[in-house]
Amino acid sequence: MIQSTVRKTIYARIGGSLLLLLSMGWGFAILLWPYGGQGRIAENQPVSGFVFPSETDYLLLVFGFPGCGDSCPITLASLSHTLQTYERHSESTASQLKVGFVNLLPDLAPKLTTEYVKNFHPAFEHYPLTDHERSALLQEFGVYATPSIQNEQQLYHSSFVYLLQRREAQWFRVQTFLEPAPPTDKILEVIRQFSIHDSFPKAQY
């Protein structure tokens, strides 16, 4: 009788563990689903969820929120260095580069978000969105954001950096950098490869 009870307990624990692993597997599958199911993000895709600025050729797009204490400051500081490096060579290319930020907290005043991003670089731009526009854009880019249990004003979110290229009136997502602080030389090399201008600087950054 005791042995039977022990066996049932062991089987129950094993079953519970398997269910946990299975649920985690489905969780990972859901997270990877927007990226082709294998963790690879589809590139060279037209962007239709939002109208980005038309006066630039390339856009580095970041999703985050003011008060983010983890990836956002690292990402924005890194992109500030990238933009400064690009601007030093701006006379060598006709292509224009901007950095845009989308706030993931819908109830935060746009002015606060604008001030937040411009602390890292005065040329950084914040794109205020309606709830519908934000939802559509997050879905299109496969961005996930989960509120913290301890604090609703804190989010766990993906920290990818997206490179967009404008081709006439249409924007395309041409590269996704999976690290929160992609190296400057890596970003500029990708832009150089996509640029139609042979004069794009090829120096080491």
* Per-residue pLDDT tens over the stretch 155-195: 788 889 999 998 888 899 999 999 889 999 999 999 888 87
Does this model's pTM top 0.75? My answer is no
Q: How far apart are CA 80 and CA 89, in angstroms?
A: 15
Q: How far apart are CA 69 and CA 1, in angstroms?
A: 55
Low-confidence stretches of the chain (pLDDT < 50) are 1-40, 198-205
pLDDT value, residue 153: 64
pLDDT value, residue 196: 58
Q: What is the DSSP letter of 143?
A: -
CATH topology of domain 45-194: Glutaredoxin (3.40.30)
Q: H or E segment at 146?
A: strand 145-147
List the end-to-end C-alpha distance of the chain, in Å, as a whole number.
Answer: 73
Neighbours of 59 (CB within 10 A): 22
Q: How far apart are CA 106 and CA 76, in angstroms?
A: 20
Token pair for residue 1?
A: 């009788």
pLDDT value, residue 154: 72
Which residue ranges make up each domain of the chain? 2-35, 45-194
Query: Which of 91, 78, 97 lies closest to 184, judged by CA?
Result: 78
3-class DSSP state of 111: helix
pLDDT value, residue 28: 33
State how beta strands 170-177 and 45-46 pair.
Answer: antiparallel
